[in-house]
Amino acid sequence: MTYSIPKGVYDILPEDLSGKELWKESRRWQALKTLLRSSAETYGFEEISTPVFETTALFQRTIGENTDIVSKEMYIFEDKAGRSMTLRPEGTACVMRSFIENHYQQRAYAHKLFYIGPMFRYERRQAGRYRQFYQFGAEAIGQAAPEQDAEMIDFLYTLCARIGVKNLQIRLNSIGDADCRRLFKQALVDYLAPFKKELSEESQKRLETNPLRVLDSKNPKDREITEGAPSILSFLQSEAREHFEAVKNYLETLKIPFVIDRRLVRGLDYYNRTVFEIVCEDGASRDSLGGGGRYDHLLECLGGPNLPAVGWAVGLERILQALLAQNHRFSKKRGPFLFLIPLGEESTAYAFSLLKKLRLNDISCEMDYSGKKLKQILQYAHRRDAIFVSVIGDLELKERTLKIKEMASGKEISVPANEAEKHFLSLKQCYDHLP
Ligand code: HAM
Q: What angle do CA 162, 166, 171 make, to 5 degrees?
A: 95
Per-residue pLDDT band at 418 (split at 50, 70, 90): confident
pLDDT tens digits along 128-180:
899 999 999 999 999 999 999 999 999 999 999 999 999 999 999 999 999 99
Query: What is each CA distance from 20 to 24, 68, 134, 340, 428, in whole angstroms?
Result: 10, 31, 20, 33, 33
Is 156 within 8 Å of 290 (Cβ atoms)? yes
Sheet holding 84-87, edge to edge: 53-55, 84-87, 75-78
**What are the CA-CA distances from residue 13 to residues 30, 202, 339 (Å)?**
11, 37, 22
Cα–ligand 1 centroid distance for 316 (angstroms)? 10
Query: Which of the 8 DSSP states describes residue 124?
Result: P
pLDDT of residue 186: 95
Looking at residue 274, its pLDDT comes to 98
DSSP 347: H
Can you tell me the distance from the alpha carbon of 95 to that of 181, in angstroms, rounded to the nearest whole number? 26
Which residue's alpha carbon is at the smallest distance from atom 22 of ligand 1?
Answer: 315
Rounded Cα gap, residues 231 and 241, in angstroms: 13
* pTM tops 0.85, yes or no: yes
Cβ–ligand 1 contact at 342 (below 6 Å): no
> Per mean pLDDT, which range of 58-72, 105-119, 414-428 is the poorest?
414-428
CB 250 within 8 A of CB 150: yes
Mean pLDDT, all residues of the chain: 94
Q: Residues 196, 200, 202, 207: what is their CA dihedral angle, to the nearest 10 degrees?
A: -20
Distance of CA 40 to the CA centre of its chain: 12
336 lines ligand 1 (CB under 6 A): no
Report which residue type is found at 188: L
pLDDT in tens, 5-50: 999 999 999 999 999 999 999 999 999 999 999 999 999 999 999 9
Q: What is the pLDDT of residue 434?
A: 54
pLDDT of residue 406: 93
Burial 282-316, CB ≥16 within 10 A → b, else e: eebbbbbbbbbbbbbbbbeebebeebbbbbbbbbb
**Cα distance between residue 203 and residue 214, in whole Å:** 5
What is the number of H-type helices and E-type strands within the chain? 15, 16
Q: What percent of the chain has pLDDT over 70?
A: 99
Please state, in angstroms and rounded to a whole number, the distance separating the CA atoms of residues 392 and 402: 7
Q: With a 6 A CB cut-off, is 294 part of the ligand 1 pocket? A: no
pLDDT in tens, 197-253: 999 999 999 999 999 999 989 899 999 999 999 999 999 999 999 999 999 999 999
Tell me: pLDDT of 379 over 90: yes
Of ligand 1's atoms, which has the minimum distance to the CA of residue 130?
Answer: 20
Q: Is 291 in the pocket of ligand 1 (CB under 6 A)?
A: yes
Q: What is the pLDDT of residues 262-291, one digit of tens each?
A: 999 998 999 999 999 999 998 878 789 999
Q: What secondary structure letter does DSSP report for 314?
A: E
What does DSSP assign to residue 286?
S
What confidence score (pLDDT) does residue 435 get?
Answer: 47
Q: Whose CA is nearest to atom 12 of ligand 1?
A: 315
3-state secondary structure of 151: helix
What's at 401, amino acid-wise? T
For 316-346, the pLDDT digits (tens) are 999 999 999 999 998 888 889 999 999 999 9
Q: In 3-state terms, what secondary structure has residue 190?
A: helix
Residue pair 91/312 in contact by the 8 Å Cβ criterion = no
Q: Is 311 in the pocket of ligand 1 (CB under 6 A)?
A: yes
